[in-house]
Structure 1
Amino acid sequence: MLRKLLSRAKISKLGLRTPQPAPDRQGIAIAAIVRNEARFIEEWVRFHHAVGVRHFVIYDDASTDATREILRDVLPAEALTIVPWAQRLSDIRLGREIHNQVLAYAHAAGNFGPHFRWMAFVDVDEFLVPTASDTLPQSLEALGDIPNVSLPWHMFGFSGHETPPEGGVLENYRMRVRDPMSDAPGIRAFKMLVDPCRLTALRVHSMETDGTSETWNDAGTKASIEAREKPEFYSTAAVQLNHYYTRSKADLEAKISRGPNLVAKTDQYRRKVMRTVNSIEAETVEDTRARDLARKLGLIA
């Protein structure tokens, strides 16, 4: 019975031997795992490169479309590393699946982290939008040497689109959940920016630095991982994390059909996704911050 129960659990947290910083480390890198993102990845990399991301470490999960070619066309060679990442690993003794995304993040921090002050671990439907200035490095400068920042999701829904509209995500999807710190299903969650040379343990949504679970918001306020769930932790003083969860209704159906990163979660996936969608669409507010910055930077007309 114990073995059966354990087999249903995934290995989703990994410890990491802290990498030693390179003498000239600087700037921000993004690590992301992707699969068949040709429709969306050009806008995503152009935006993040324009706001100051120095390097992209892209873990390609067996894409069969033009994702890799687009990345190589859009980014200079020195700003891009593509790592093949199609494996599925498990603890063979108990049959516990090892979270492929967490493995990618750990690999990125351990192998590429020494060259960067900050590393972000986000998906292609997530945009890091600087708010204190037009670039991420300038926006984060006031935070000094803190080791990590927890960024709350700002969850965007359909914005009225049944099918994919002409133009990009930032231009067309402007309606998000009103309260990013709501306790409605699927709304309140975080991704993290970390100093990879102080990273000691990681999951997809929570990471530990210096061997502790202390975290900071982007205004420099410290809290425990548990306390970041409280409304008073919320801030967009330096960076706003936009999560374009659904895009159009047709895009959402395609997302559900692709299934989750973890095979063991396939049966539960549609129910989980739709609970989140219902929470987003229940009460929305217009948010044009990302679109306006993209226009200012000349990325959209």
Structure 2
Amino acid sequence: MSTLKERTFKYWIKIYCYNNAFIRPIKHNIKNEFVGNTILLLASPYILLNYWFTLWYEKHFGFKKVERLMNNDRNKSFMHELAVVSISKNEGPYIVEWIEFHRMVGVSKFYFYDNESQDDTEQILKPYVEKGIVDYIKIPGVGRQLDAYNDAIKKHKHECRWMAFIDMDEYLMPSEPFRPLYQVVDDVVYSAGGGAAGVGVNWALYGTSGYKKKPAGLITENYTHRAENEYYLNVHIKCICNPRLVTNYISPHYPLYIRGGYTIKEAYGTRIIGWGANKIIYKNLRINHYYTKSEEEYAAKRARGLGDRAGIYEDSHFERYDRNEVYDFNMKPYIDELKERVNNYPKI
């Protein structure tokens, strides 16, 4: 049985490979490991040359260019300070709570991609669409998550100052209750300068809290136990970024920016390489990740399959994600108002 430290080291190696723009498609799409590794070996001179050129360009040109573009944007007005992009399949029971919570913390627009839902998702979203709060887009097919993200950037990058890319089981939270998220992002990213073009927000991974069946009531009220801060899966981040500086979303967790741009840690203002950030303290922002919910709900989630490619989660997935070591009900300040909003739906 490997130790947590050994598993964490292997995880960082995986993170690097997953987020390299050249390596990832090979590792991701070529199922034969020998063939994939052979291609990478033959391509290693190109990978190294590209790496060193990027370092040189960033130092001499890229960082200054990004900082100039960010400062120009700072003085502009946008239709929305913060928009959320998400893709979903059969998440109808959770939509209203998820939208209303994020509206409470400053999100004014949702670009919602529906990946062949067979429940009442479209009908539930109708009042939000009519009010202009949600743009509803149908996106059929398997593994369309990155297609959805890149479509939102292409079509809407000039409508909002910041774009956040999260799933329906992820709740973006300011550490200071009710403070608008976009104000936090402004403070964190603009103060960092250099090539900072977005902020990475770590997971706080919540488990089943002992529930086998789906309980009545709010997700945010029922699930109150999570993994310890430094649990290795909490190194995952999701990004809130300046969409005008993104060239391509290559992972559900992380975009590629124009050369010189990068994501920073929410707590330290330092650069993130890939989709992992350790030394987690949740200083300014966090993502409450209600991944499993109850055992019953996790089984339904697993049956829906992966978002960014074909396939389902492996059997060991549940054991790694069902973490309940720490009692943390940091959602408590929001619950009364959130209940009222959910109960008043469809009155918006």
TM-score range, shorter chain: 0.7 to 0.9
Deviations 1:234-266 (A, max 9, x none): 342322111101101111111122222356433
Structure 1 residues 6 and 254, CA gap change in structure 2 (3 angstroms) = closer
TM-score, structure 2 as length reference = 0.69
Which residue is 1:141 aligned to? 186
Task: For 2:284 and 2:295, locate their aligned partners in 1 and report how far apart those are by CA, in whole Å.
Answer: 31
Structure 1 runs, 4 residues or longer, greater than 6 Å off: none
More helix by share: 2
Q: Which amino acid aligns with 1:60?
A: D
Task: For 2:281 and 2:115, locate their aligned partners in 1 and report how far apart those are by CA, in whole Å.
Answer: 33
Task: For 1:170 and 1:264, locate their aligned partners in 2 and report how far apart those are by CA, in whole Å.
Answer: 30
More strand by share: 1
% identity of equivalent residues: 26
Q: Which amino acid aligns with 1:142?
A: D
Do the aligned partners of 1:217 and 1:235 also contact (CA within 8 Å) in 2? Answer: no
Q: Which amino acid aligns with 1:177?
A: A
Which residue is 2:210 aligned to? 160
Task: For 1:35 and 1:77, locate their aligned partners in 2 and report how far apart those are by CA, in whole Å.
Answer: 22
Which residue is 1:95 aligned to? none
Do the aligned partners of 1:129 and 1:242 also contact (CA within 8 Å) in 2? Answer: yes
Do the aligned partners of 2:205 and 2:227 also contact (CA within 8 Å) in 1? Answer: yes
Task: For 1:82 and 1:76, locate their aligned partners in 2 and report how far apart those are by CA, in whole Å.
Answer: 10
**Superposition RMSD in Å:** 2.8
Is 2:299 the partner of 1:245? Answer: no
Q: Which amino acid aligns with 1:124?
A: M
Task: For 1:190 and 1:263, locate their aligned partners in 2 and report how far apart those are by CA, in whole Å.
Answer: 19
Alpha-carbon offset, residue 220 of structure 1? 5.3
Do the aligned partners of 1:30 and 1:122 also contact (CA within 8 Å) in 2? Answer: yes
Task: For 1:32 and 1:211, locate their aligned partners in 2 and report how far apart those are by CA, in whole Å.
Answer: 26
TM-score, structure 1 as length reference = 0.79
Do the aligned partners of 1:147 and 1:198 also contact (CA within 8 Å) in 2? Answer: yes
Structure 1 residues 242 and 227, CA gap change in structure 2 (3 angstroms) = closer
Which residue is 1:258 aligned to? 304
Task: For 1:235 and 1:152, locate their aligned partners in 2 and report how far apart those are by CA, in whole Å.
Answer: 9
Q: Secondary structure at the match of 2:156?
A: helix
Structure 2 residue corresponding to 1:211, chosen from 237, 259, 267 = 259
Do the aligned partners of 2:254 and 2:275 also contact (CA within 8 Å) in 1? Answer: no
Do the aligned partners of 1:171 and 1:291 also contact (CA within 8 Å) in 2? Answer: yes
Structure 1 residue corresponding to 2:77, chosen from 5, 24, 45 = 24
Alpha-carbon offset, residue 177 of structure 1? 0.3
- Give structure 1 stretches of 5+ with no counterpart: 10-17, 89-98
Do the aligned partners of 2:129 and 2:135 also contact (CA within 8 Å) in 1? Answer: no
Structure 1 residues 272 and 150, CA gap change in structure 2 (3 angstroms) = farther
Task: For 1:109 and 1:176, locate their aligned partners in 2 and report how far apart those are by CA, in whole Å.
Answer: 32
Do the aligned partners of 1:157 and 1:175 also contact (CA within 8 Å) in 2? Answer: yes
Task: For 1:118 and 1:33, locate their aligned partners in 2 and report how far apart those are by CA, in whole Å.
Answer: 18
Do the aligned partners of 1:199 and 1:207 also contact (CA within 8 Å) in 2? Answer: yes
Task: For 2:183 and 2:76, locate their aligned partners in 1 and report how far apart those are by CA, in whole Å.
Answer: 21
Which residue is 2:244 aligned to? 197
What aligned pairs does 1:35-114 form with structure 2 within 5 A after superposition? 35-74=89-128, 77-88=131-142, 99-114=143-158
Do the aligned partners of 1:200 and 1:211 also contact (CA within 8 Å) in 2? Answer: no
Task: For 1:227 and 1:28, locate their aligned partners in 2 and report how far apart those are by CA, in whole Å.
Answer: 21
- Give structure 2 stretches of 5+ with no counterpart: 1-25, 33-68, 191-195, 341-348
Task: For 1:59 and 1:285, locate their aligned partners in 2 and report how far apart those are by CA, in whole Å.
Answer: 33
